[in-house]
Amino acid sequence: MLKGKTALITGGSRGIGAAIARAMAAQGANVALVYAGNQQAAEEVAGQCAALGVTAKSYQCDVADFAAVKALVAAVKEDFGSIQILVNCAGINADGLILSMKEEAFDRVVAANLKGTFNLIRHCSPLFLRAREGCIINVSSVAGLMGNAGQANYAAAKAGIVGLTKSVARELAPRGVTCNAIAPGFIRTDMTAGLEDSPLVANIPLGRMGTAEEVADLAVFLAGAGYITGEVIRIDGGIAM
Residue numbers of the site for ligand NAP (CB under 6 A)? 10-11, 13-17, 34-38, 41, 61-64, 89-92, 112-113, 116, 139, 141, 184, 186-187, 189-192
* 73 Rama class: left (phi>0) / alpha (psi -120 to 50) / beta: alpha
Minimum distance from residue 203 beta carbon to ligand NAP (Å): 14
Residue 17 or 160: the one with the smaller Cβ distance to ligand NAP is 17
Residue 133 vs 135, nearer CB to ligand NAP: 135
DSSP-derived letter for residue 42 is H
* Chain centroid, CA 41 distance in Å: 17
Q: Do residues 208 and 12 touch, judged by C-beta distance below 8 A?
A: no
Minimum distance, C-beta of residue 19 to ligand NAP, in the bound complex (Å): 8
Check residue 191 and report its DSSP letter: G
- For the bound state, the minimum distance from the C-beta of residue 227 to ligand NAP, rounded and expressed in Å, comes to 25
Residue 113 or 178 with smaller CB distance to ligand NAP: 113
Pairing, β 6-10 against β 85-88: parallel
| Closer by beta carbon to ligand NAP, 139 or else 162 | 139
Active-site annotation holds for 154: yes
Q: Distance (Å, rounded) from C-alpha 106 to C-alpha 97? A: 11
Beta strands in the chain (DSSP E): 6-10, 30-35, 56-60, 85-88, 134-139, 177-184, 232-235
The residue (of 7 and 133) whose beta carbon lies closer to ligand NAP is 7
Q: CA nearest 65: which of 109, 11, 102, 120?
A: 120
CB of 200 to ligand NAP, least distance (A): 10
User: Is 147:167 a contact under the CB 8 Å cutoff?
Assistant: no
Least Å distance between CB 188 and ligand NAP? 7
Contact 111, 103 (CB under 8 A): no
Q: Which of 35, 59, 154, 227 is catalytic?
A: 154
Residues involved in catalysis: 154
